Structure 1
Amino acid sequence: MASVRGRRVAGTVLAVLLLAACLRAPVTSVGPLLERVGEETGLGASALGLLGALPVIGFGVGSALVHRPAQSYGLERVLALALVVLAGAVVLRSLPLAGALWVGTALIGTAAAAGNVLAPAVIKRDHPGAIVLLTACFTAVMTVTAATASGLAVPVSDAWGGGWRLPLGALAALVAPVALLWVVRAARSPAPLPVGAPRDGAPVRAVTMWRSPSAWAVSAFMGLQSAVFFTLATWLPTVEVSLGLDARAAGWHLFVLQLVGMLAGLVLSTHMRGRSDLRGTGVVISLCIVAAMAGLALAPGLALAWVALAAVGTGSSLVLALSLLGLRTAHAGHTAQLSSMAQTVGYAIAACGPLLAGWVGGTFSWDLVLLLVGALGVAQLVLVLRAARPGLVMGC
């Protein structure tokens, strides 16, 4: 019996980690290739900024829509369908068809939103005693695959004659097998367990997170840390090239941003374990972002060191934001509700980052993008004082 239970737990953990591998790589692989996309398609800086923001907009739209289907049909079924759509969208984006780039990119964000929203609920439901550890592992896998996709984008493009379609479309080979795994899990899962109830079926009081000031603080913190990350993921290579760095080195700096961020998130998970008040932690990691942007602006010759410091801030912020969804709620149902709200509001905020940065860089100077990201870091610091304080977000 114990061995069966152990295999079931291991299977659940593996499925969640494989899900994590699919959620960011299709998004972050675009940044190093934006210039080549623009050259082939004729898109300007503002249009490319919109292209970079489109998955984030999709995250926000999908986050608002996914909670109710999960309640009706179960977590596994919704996640399986989302992954099938994600695999198809990755292929569609790379096809030389009118509108395919835009439609595929939008669908990628919308489909990935299901994993972003529902993974914390799966972790809360199946592993309530290991929320921080599994959240850190989830973000680590998500970050490693995203970093690898970013780092390989330009070399694969160069090997294919400078084209951008192959390195983006090839990511379907990652997503499709994971989609099949979740389809099998969905087919084998029993009748959907209401997301608002724990495994023992005990009823959980319905709440409305949208009227809770604490839920709004968590949501705004989620948005600001996402805005910082997606702005850097979209425009960091362009900013660094404007500062005199080689394009390939800039692409690998994006890899460093994500790899070091993953390691920082894992370290943070050990620090967070057993702590109820995480405000001080949130302040320190926010200051890392502010200091890194100042360093890049004032001493670009040390770009690698500043990117590594920014990575500590962004990677730790993501682990903190996702962990708060489980740590500040009492049940998986409340976690799913807070996650849906936080990521709907959060990605609406986050989508403004790449858009605004594209406009600022294209209209004025790419150096000002560093000032913009630094300002987002300061705002994140202020919000975390409310978002990471002790206590549960109960809703109304």
Structure 2
Amino acid sequence: MDRNGRSYGSKFGSKRNWLLVIGIILVGANLRGPLTSVGVLIPFIREDLAISNAVAGAITTLPLLAFALLSPIAPKIANRIGMERTVALSLVILIAGIAVRSISGINFLFLGTFFIGLAISVGNVLIPGIIKVKFPYKIGLMMGIYAIFMNVFGALGSGVSAPLASMGNFGWQGSLGMWLILAAVSLLVWLPQLKEKEDRQAGVKKDKDSSLLRSPLAWKITIFMGSQSLIFYTLVTWLPDILQQNGYDSNAAGWMVFLMQFAIIPVTFVVPVVAEKMKNQVALSFMTGALFITGLAGLLQGSALLVPLWAILIGVAAGSAFSLSMMFFTLRTKDGKEAATLSGMAQSFGYLLAAVGPVLVGALHDITGGWTLPLTLLIALAVIILIVGTASGKKGQVTA
């Protein structure tokens, strides 16, 4: 609702509504690309800065730590200054982070990356809330549009970063710095939203409720959320290196990561619709775990010819797992407050778990000199996803 009590969800016809829709699209476009673009550039960064694989893996881990740190705090900030202003502030921080990250030097790289993680965590938390408040009758449509642009630009980040870095003297700094343009345009388009007054409590307020920490189901959902995030961000970071060891050049490896992420896009539309209509989500959860296991086992087998198939299967699994995580927040809770509490718990603890992945896998590769042990570890994690996913998929609610 706007300040006069009119619903934004009633129509898209006004200029103000279209600016908000475009703003949401652009903010969503910033929520994955600045992170997924790093994985394919790891070889460039590692060679230029003379760092180990474990240190390189921390480039992906830092944003995940930022997610874990700020996810439960972002709604409180929004309650004080408003959701629109909080998103605008996050875009300013994102611009600063991208600029700092593109300066040569390991310290600037890590500092900028941490700022980027803080900025993106705000969008992750608040944009769904803004959609719920501003478009109460078009939540599904707006969430679908938002997810598409988030994943498309995430895929583009993996696909175009290596070719850009190879152009002339552009380098990895220039390739990562290109995201500054999108962030700046997004901020300019978002600025008109700062004129809108809002009920700051709507859609974001939640009381502290630690009782879910004692819920076995809540922890299963949290482990499911964290495990699928760990696999996704670990592969975004290290899949290019894994494929290059199997004979792919950096550009071709980047496009395989693009293919994996492109496969996510249609799934994020289909799974929520199907999951909502089912009596329980056990079959979907089992399928998700099985696809992860199959795709990762295929990578472990090492056939370069079948890599596109494995990339697609992993992408479908990742898209399904992410969508199921979001659906569990609503299907396994009794009301909006409890859903928000579960979401905050799962994202905070889940991203903390996910942060371990890139560094641990990089360290295991440094120790063993190969990718067999790291991939075996990810397969074991996929088995855990299958187990806790099927448990989370059973009809029921977290106990408060």
TM above 0.5, yes or no, is: yes
* Residue-pair matches, total: 389
The answer (yes or no) to whether the contact 1:45–1:359 under 8 Å persists in 2 is yes
Task: Tell me how far 1:131 sits from its aligned partner.
Answer: 5.3
* Equivalent residue number for residue 231 of structure 1: 234
Moved more, 300-309 or 333-342: 333-342
Deviation of the 1:117 alpha carbon: 1.9
Q: Tell me, in whole angstroms, the C-alpha distance in 1 between the residues paired with 2:9 and 2:315.
A: 39
CA distance in 1, matches of 2:94, 2:145: 22
Query: What is the CA–CA distance in structure 2 between the aligned matches of 1:271 and 1:82, rounded to whole Å?
Result: 33
Partner of 1:251: 254
Name 1:318's counterpart in structure 2: 322
Partner residue, 1:36 = 44
CA root-mean-square deviation:
2.6
Instruction: Provide the secondary structure at the position in 1 that maps to 2:166.
Output: helix
Given the alignment, which residue of 349, 352, 369 partners 2:353? 349
Superposed CA deviations along residues 286-312 of structure 1, whole A, max 9, x for unmatched, are 110100111122242311111111111
2:293 matched to which residue of 1? 290
Cα distance in 2, alignment partners of residues 275 and 120 from structure 1: 23
In 1, distance between residues paired with 2:314 and 2:175? 26
Report the Cα distance in structure 2 between the residues aligned to 1:119 and 1:3, rounded to whole angstroms: 15
Deviation at 1:90, TM superposition (A): 0.9
Distance in 2 (alpha carbons) for counterparts of 1:171 and 1:376: 32
**SS of the residue aligned with 1:30?**
helix
> What is the deviation of 1:240?
0.8
Amino acid at match of 2:365: G
Q: Which runs of 5+ in 1 are unaligned?
A: 198-203
Of residues 322-331 and 75-84 in structure 1, the stretch that sits farther from structure 2 once superposed is: 322-331
Corresponding position: 1:360 with 2:368? no
Q: 1:379 — aligned with what?
A: 384
Contact 2:7 2:134 in 1 (8 A): no
Gaps of 5+ in 2: 1-5
Q: Which residue number corresponds to residue 121 of structure 1? A: 129
Q: 2:292 & 2:247 partners in 1: Cα distance? A: 22
Instruction: Check if 1:159 corresponds to 2:163.
Output: no
Q: How far 1:322 sits from its partner (Å)?
A: 2.2
Aligned-pair CA distance for 1:4 = 8.8
Q: What residue identity is the alignment partner of 1:109? A: G
Change (3 A) 1:120 1:73: same
Report the equivalent of 1:59.
67
Say if 1:125 and 1:331, in contact at 8 Å, map to a contact too: no
Alignment of 1:254-269 (within 5 A): 254-269=257-272
Q: 1:389 aligns with which of 368, 389, 394?
A: 394
Q: Deviations over 1:123-146 (max 9, x none)?
A: 444456665554444332211101
CA spacing shift, 1:243–1:11, aligned 2, 3 Å: same
User: What secondary structure is seen at the aligned counterpart in 1 of 2:198?
Assistant: coil
Q: Do the aligned residues in 2 keep the contact of 1:260 with 1:308 (CA within 8 Å)?
A: yes
Q: CA deviation at 1:276?
A: 4.6
Which residue in 1 is equivalent to 2:3? none
Cα gap change, 1:158/1:67 in structure 2, threshold over 3 Å: closer, same or farther? Answer: same
Shift of 1:116: 1.4
Paired letter, 1:49: G
Q: CA deviation at 1:266?
A: 2.3
CA distance in 2, matches of 1:70, 1:332: 17
Partner secondary structure for residue 385 of structure 2: helix
Report how far residue 161 of structure 1 moved.
3.3
2:8, 2:134 within 8 Å by CA — same for their partners in 1? no
Aligned match of 1:200: none
Note the alpha carbon deviations across 1:205-253, whole angstroms, 9 max, x for none: 8744434333322222110110010000000000111122222111100
Q: Which amino acid aligns with 1:76?
A: E
- After TM superposition, list the pairs within 5 Å mapping 1:184-223 onto structure 2: 184-195=192-203, 207-208=209-210, 209-223=212-226
How many Å separate the matches in 2 of 1:159 and 1:146? 21
- What is the SS of the residue equivalent to 1:190? coil
2:98 to 80, 83, 90: 90
**Bigger Cα displacement from structure 2, 94-103 vs 81-90:** 94-103
Identity %: 31
Contact 2:88/2:187, CA 8 A, preserved across alignment:
yes
